[in-house]
């Protein structure tokens, strides 16, 4: 196997002596100022690194020594960063070994502590799979990631403001560094061309018939030309007209390949050639007929872009029954020849109906997004619209128009419309955007809007004629920008306009918060009143306004009317405005009122109460709104606990965590109902909670369960009614609780029966249950009364059970050995009371047993030493037969004193050679009022008499 070795040595600066972690600053009890200065220096260094390089950058070189980090970017410009206090370093080593498609990552500190993780690649190409430069320190500063995925190995966590510098090396050669401070995002710097190019992977445009493929892309359009110029300026602006003749952009073929390592550059590549063939299609033309070759190639940030030349007419469309395949072969300066693993499909497609669109509008509405005038070619469409963008009159950075625009198209191959053209396609087609001011006039005096803005490299700036000072007078002007999609030979593919308004700097919106202490649930309303000090200090003064100025700039927003009074709060409760009659010297106050209903609603969640009051700016263009948020929390009254001695122990399990519910006890006159009064499980027939105002409901935790599985194997989703008094399984009723009596009734639905019969009463942990919750209130206004142990499980006991009876078969009996069905079985109820033709005969009618049958095809046996649980009788011999004469009753016909053969018989017959004793395992189904019980009963077969 090919093996690869990678190591990284981790250096920590400003480290203390704690084992296994990068350490923080040394103790400087006598020099706090020095400590602060050093922390500031660290933060400044990291800030400068992040500003210039971001989280990952490819640079020419990096060196770190004597507290100085020197980074030389790809342009050859070197920058030095000072790293304070480089003494007391602790060393960590990160080793990676690769064997086949598995890589083992081992992190070892200088104390001998080791972390080891193994990652597996799905790619079987072991020579080029592992990319050292894809192994970096993640954004959290501790996780070692490979291609953006966590490897499971983590660096020690840094304390706040501690600094670490991580050096990555391979075979003794440094290829990168990572710098981080505390828990901030690290900067990973990968040195270009230190590691030789070893491989690449293709980035497809599409997958066709399982083949990763690239496009042979052409464009059809109708060019635009100027009809009416914007100079001299008019009120209607310029006009452009679209040609009726078709124009075309010849097909371009661009392949994208991720380089390994990603730090490799174009300098390592000597040449690229193209191999071609047909791929898995029956074709009339050979791929080589399209004469593919490499036109040019480039490398940026680890991505190789190859521009191919080919006879596009011989490249088939996406819907064709054939495909062309390209494969590249790269020769490097190191003398290596690297060939793509597979042929890559090439398919012809064409873009039409190209139109400029607003990127923000496209995201909000996939079909209504074109720039103003893009379809008519008239600037007046935009002139008549409200501006979509704003630009501050004193902005020095301007408004970059380039990110605001995208190009939409129709893909003729897939017939998809309103598609957004990728930057890759824009570049490969030789298209680009141009931005120009489009002059027009407004007002009776003909104010030309171009005099208040300029555009440089697609960035719009405010100006005032030829003045160099701050253009105050530009406020309110609305310059128009013409956007054009251009070909490389300066043909206009699409034209549209963007309208911008020059505005004052908007005073930002203000958020004021008042967080009141928590309080206990109460019957009376709870009021929170702003004080005069709070309103003046946290509202008026924060905005730099007095009360009169504030009321001039803002108007409180009414939300609703409650009982004839205005409510200004959006959220819990109501907010009233208490206005002061004195217009100049006094204060307007707000009062937040929370009712008992609001408290109850909050307690049903997490108790949090909140409402928001909005003072809307009277001039939204100059000011943002002021929002005042009130918050508090209502706590439930002291909880009560049901004492153990209040729970009748015979009804509960040993830990008094659950109860068992059963059908009615037979008394000769009643029917088999399933209704239980939950009060009966408590002493005195009620829970001792200090209140008589309570009810039972199904607990909310029922709906998150995943253990509701029926006898049929069906997994059920449990839900509740709005009042939590009905439990459903897959939408069908299972049980209900009657609020007035506390009685729980089991439903007679198929779903309920399937769940009920899943396990016997003696297997309670496996039986079906429901979570019950006691909801109680107390006091005159019926405050919610929390109960610490008010939730418990109620198991529904299966009414009857089936086991093997005393019956047995005799081998080789004339006409077969026949046994009564009721002799084969032993039936018991949920109390383990047996019922048979001799004992408790009335139970057959009470439990409404209507049928007993055997699944003959599923009978198993231990003949010939086989496993009686799995070996079917039919698979051993065809000479041994089991038949049944089963009988079914209507409910009204069930005998009150059934005979042994009342439910039929089962006959065993041997049509072949005499056999010795063995056993049969019969799958038996008993049908009764509450569904079906399925059980396996093992019946002995005695050997042939006389043998």
What does the pLDDT look like over 288-336, one tens digit per residue?
567 788 888 999 888 899 988 877 667 766 665 667 788 899 999 888 8
Placement of tokens 């550059």 in the chain: 265
Element (H, E) at 810: strand 809-810
Label residue 178 by pLDDT band (50, 70, 90): confident
* Whether the predicted pLDDT of 679 surpasses 90: yes
DSSP bridge pairs for 852: 926
* Whether the predicted pLDDT of 477 surpasses 80: yes
* Whether the predicted pLDDT of 122 surpasses 90: no
Mean pLDDT of 904-925: 89
Mean pLDDT of 671-684: 96
Give me the percent of the chain exceeding a pLDDT of 90. Answer: 57
H helices, E strands: number in the chain: 12, 69
790 torsion bin: left (phi>0), alpha (psi -120 to 50), beta (else): alpha
* Whether the predicted pLDDT of 127 surpasses 60: no
* Whether the predicted pLDDT of 129 surpasses 90: no
Mean pLDDT of 454-469: 93
The mean of the pLDDT values for the chain is 85
How deeply is 613 buried, as exposed, middle or buried, from its count of CB atoms within 10 A (0-12, 13-18, 19+)?
A: buried
Mean pLDDT of 869-875: 93
Provide the pLDDT for residue 25.
33
Provide the pLDDT for residue 35.
40
Q: Select from 49, 531, 6, 440 the least CA-distant residue to 232.
A: 440
**Distances, alpha carbon 856 to alpha carbons 908, 922, 925, 936, in Å:** 11, 8, 11, 12
Provide the pLDDT for residue 3.
34
For residues 182 and 85, which has the higher predicted lDDT (pLDDT)?
182
Give per-residue pLDDT as tens, 573-603.
999 998 876 665 578 999 999 999 999 999 9
* Whether the predicted pLDDT of 46 surpasses 60: no
d(CA 485, CA 406): 10
CATH architecture of 508-633: Sandwich (2.60)
Instruction: CATH 2.60.40 in the chain: give the residue spans.
Output: 197-219+250-349, 508-633
d(CA 823, CA 803): 11
Label residue 760 by pLDDT band (50, 70, 90): very high
CB 749 within 8 A of CB 732: yes
d(CA 170, CA 939): 73
Q: Choose the weakest-confidence range: 66-75, 118-127, 538-547.
A: 118-127
CB 550 within 8 A of CB 587: no
* Whether the predicted pLDDT of 43 surpasses 70: no
Mean pLDDT of 331-354: 89
Please, which residues have CB within 8 angstroms of residue 422's CB and are 6 or more apart in sequence? none
* Whether the predicted pLDDT of 500 surpasses 60: yes
Mean pLDDT of 834-847: 95
Give me the percent of the chain exceeding a pLDDT of 70. Answer: 86
Mean pLDDT of 71-94: 67
Q: Select from 641, 646, 663 the least CA-distant residue to 744.
A: 663
State which CATH number among 2.60.40, 1.25.40, 2.60.120, 1.10.3210 fits the domain covering 197-219+250-349.
2.60.40
CA dihedral 694, 695, 700, 701 (to 10 degrees): 90
Label residue 159 by pLDDT band (50, 70, 90): low
Provide the pLDDT for residue 452.
95
CB 102 within 8 A of CB 120: yes
* Whether the predicted pLDDT of 160 surpasses 60: no
Label residue 21 by pLDDT band (50, 70, 90): very low
CB 854 within 8 A of CB 923: yes
* Whether the predicted pLDDT of 126 surpasses 50: no
* Whether the predicted pLDDT of 676 surpasses 90: yes
Q: Where are the alpha helices (DSSP H) in 385-529?
A: 423-428
Provide the pLDDT for residue 369.
92
* Strand-pair category, 769-778 with 694-698: antiparallel
Label residue 622 by pLDDT band (50, 70, 90): confident
Backbone angles phi, psi at 598, to 5 degrees: -65, -40
* Whether the predicted pLDDT of 342 surpasses 80: yes
Provide the pLDDT for residue 781.
86
Q: Would you list the DSSP string of 900-916? A: TTTTEEEEEEE-SS---
* Whether the predicted pLDDT of 684 surpasses 90: yes
Q: Choose the weakest-confidence range: 302-316, 388-402, 704-718, 855-869.
A: 302-316
CB 121 within 8 A of CB 166: no
DSSP 8-state symbol, 158: P
Provide the pLDDT for residue 633.
97
Mean pLDDT of 553-576: 96
**Distances, alpha carbon 57 to alpha carbons 146, 176, 185, in Å:** 16, 10, 14
What would the 3-class secondary structure string for 219-241 be?
Answer: EEECCEEEEECCCCCCCCCCEEE
Provide the pLDDT for residue 91.
52
**Which of 25-39, 247-261, 782-796: highest mean pLDDT?**
782-796
Mean pLDDT of 358-364: 93
CB pairs under 8 A, 24+ apart, for 868-875?
868/919, 868/921, 868/938, 869/921, 873/920
Q: Choose the weakest-confidence range: 411-425, 472-486, 907-921.
A: 907-921
* Whether the predicted pLDDT of 275 surpasses 70: yes
Please, which residues have CB within 8 angstroms of residue 672's CB and are 6 or more apart in sequence? 663, 664, 666, 799, 846, 847, 848, 929, 930
Mean pLDDT of 672-676: 96
* Whether the predicted pLDDT of 175 surpasses 70: yes
- Report the Cα–Cα distance between both ends of the chain, in Å, rounded: 67
* Whether the predicted pLDDT of 793 surpasses 90: yes
Give per-residue pLDDT as tens, 930-947.
999 999 999 999 987 655
């Amino acid at each position: 196997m090919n093996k690869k070795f990678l190591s990284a040595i981790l250096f920590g600066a400003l480290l203390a002596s704690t084992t296994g972690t990068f350490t923080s600053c040394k103790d400087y009890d006598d020099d706090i100022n020095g400590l602060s200065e050093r922390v500031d220096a660290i933060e400044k260094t990291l800030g400068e690194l992040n500003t210039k390089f971001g989280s990952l950058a490819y640079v020419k070189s990096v060196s770190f020594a004597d507290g100085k980090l020197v980074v030389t970017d790809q342009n050859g410009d070197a920058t030095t960063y000072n790293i304070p206090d480089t003494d007391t370093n602790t060393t960590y080593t990160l080793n990676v070994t690769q064997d086949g498609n598995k890589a083992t990552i081992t992190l070892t500190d200088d104390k001998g502590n080791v972390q080891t993780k193994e990652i597996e690649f799905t790619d079987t190409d072991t020579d080029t799979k592992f990319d050292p430069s894809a192994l970096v320190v993640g954004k959290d500063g501790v996780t070692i990631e490979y291609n953006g995925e966590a490897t499971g190995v983590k660096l020690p966590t840094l304390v706040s403001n501690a600094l670490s510098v991580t050096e990555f090396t391979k075979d003794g050669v440094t290829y990168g560094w990572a710098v981080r401070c505390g828990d901030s995002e690290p900067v990973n710097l990968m040195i270009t061309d230190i590691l030789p190019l070893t491989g690449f992977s293709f980035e497809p445009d599409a997958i066709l018939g399982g083949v990763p493929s690239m496009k042979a892309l052409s464009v059809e359009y109708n060019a635009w030309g100027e009809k009416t110029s914007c100079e001299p300026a008019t009120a209607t602006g310029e006009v452009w007209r679209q040609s009726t003749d078709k124009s075309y952009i010849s097909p371009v073929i661009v392949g994208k390949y991720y380089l390994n390592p990603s730090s490799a550059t174009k300098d390592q590549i000597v040449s690229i050639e193209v191999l071609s063939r047909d791929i898995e299609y029956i074709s009339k033309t050979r791929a080589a007929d399209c004469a593919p070759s490499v036109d040019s190639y480039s490398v940026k940030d680890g991505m190789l872009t190859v521009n191919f030349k080919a006879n596009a007419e011989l490249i088939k469309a996406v819907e064709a029954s054939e495909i062309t395949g390209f494969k590249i072969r790269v020769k490097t300066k190191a003398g290596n020849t690297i060939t793509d693993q597979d042929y890559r499909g090439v398919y012809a497609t064409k873009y039409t109906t190209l139109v400029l669109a607003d990127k923000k509008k496209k995201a909000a509405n996939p079909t209504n997004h074109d720039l103003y005038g893009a379809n008519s070619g008239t600037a007046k469409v935009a002139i008549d619209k409200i501006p979509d963008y704003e630009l501050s009159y004193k902005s020095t950075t301007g408004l970059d128009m380039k990110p605001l625009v995208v190009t939409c198209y129709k893909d003729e191959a897939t017939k998809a419309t309103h598609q957004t053209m990728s930057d890759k396609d824009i570049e490969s087609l030789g298209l680009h955007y141009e931005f120009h001011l489009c002059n027009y006039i407004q007002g009776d005096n003909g104010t030309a809007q171009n005099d208040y803005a300029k555009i440089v490299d697609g960035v719009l700036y405010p100006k005032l004629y030829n003045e160099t000072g701050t253009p105050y007078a530009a406020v309110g002007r609305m310059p128009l920008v013409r956007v054009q999609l251009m070909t490389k030979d300066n043909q206009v593919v699409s034209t549209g306009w963007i309208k911008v308004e020059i505005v004052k700097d908007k005073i930002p919106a203000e958020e004021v918060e008042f967080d009141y202490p928590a309080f206990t649930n109460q019957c009376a309303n709870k009021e929170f009143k702003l004080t005069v000090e709070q309103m003046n200090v946290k509202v008026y003064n924060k905005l730099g306004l007095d009360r009169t100025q504030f009321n001039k700039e803002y108007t409180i927003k009414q939300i609703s009317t409650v009982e004839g009074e205005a409510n200004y709060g959006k959220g819990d409760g109501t907010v009233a405005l208490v206005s002061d009659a004195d217009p100049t010297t006094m204060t307007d106050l707000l009062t937040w009122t929370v009712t008992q209903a609001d408290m109850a609603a909050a307690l049903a969640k997490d108790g949090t109460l909140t409402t928001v009051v909005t003072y809307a700016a009277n001039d939204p263009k100059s000011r943002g709104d002021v929002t005042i948020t009130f918050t508090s929390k209502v706590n439930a009254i002291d909880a009560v606990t049901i004492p153990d001695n209040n729970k009748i122990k015979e009804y509960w399990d040993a830990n008094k965590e659950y109860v068992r519910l059963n059908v009615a006890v037979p008394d000769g006159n009643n029917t088999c109902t399933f209704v239980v009064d939950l009060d009966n499980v408590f002493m005195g027939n009620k829970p001792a909670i200090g209140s008589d105002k309570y009810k039972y409901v199904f607990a909310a935790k029922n709906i998150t369960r995943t253990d509701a599985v029926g006898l049929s194997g069906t997994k059920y989703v449990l839900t509740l009614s709005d009042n939590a008094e009905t439990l459903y399984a897959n939408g069908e009723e299972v049980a209900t609780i009657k609020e007035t009596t506390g009685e729980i009734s089991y439903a007679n639905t198929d779903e309920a029966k399937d769940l009920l019969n899943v396990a016997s009463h003696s297997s309670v942990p496996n039986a079906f249950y429901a979570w019950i919750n006691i909801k109680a209130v107390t006091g005159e206004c019926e405050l919610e009364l929390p109960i610490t142990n008010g939730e418990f499980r109620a198991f529904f006991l299966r009414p009857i059970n089936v086991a093997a009876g005393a019956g047995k078969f005799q081998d080789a009996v004339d006409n077969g050995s026949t046994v009564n069905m009721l002799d084969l079985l032993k039936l018991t109820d949920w109390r383990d009371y047996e019922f048979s033709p001799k004992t408790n005969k009335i139970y057959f009618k009470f439990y409404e047993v209507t049928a007993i049958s055997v699944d003959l095809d599923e009978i198993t046996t231990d003949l010939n030493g086989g496993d009686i649980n799995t070996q079917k009788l039919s698979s051993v011999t065809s000479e041994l037969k089991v038949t049944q004469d089963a009988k079914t009753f209507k409910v009204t016909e069930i005998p009150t004193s059934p005979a042994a053969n009342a439910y039929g018989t089962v006959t065993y017959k041997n049509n072949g050679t005499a056999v010795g004793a063995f056993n049969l395992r019969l799958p038996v189904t008993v049908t009764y009022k509450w569904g079906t019980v399925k059980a396996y009963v093992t019946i002995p077969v005695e050997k042939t008499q006389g043998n």
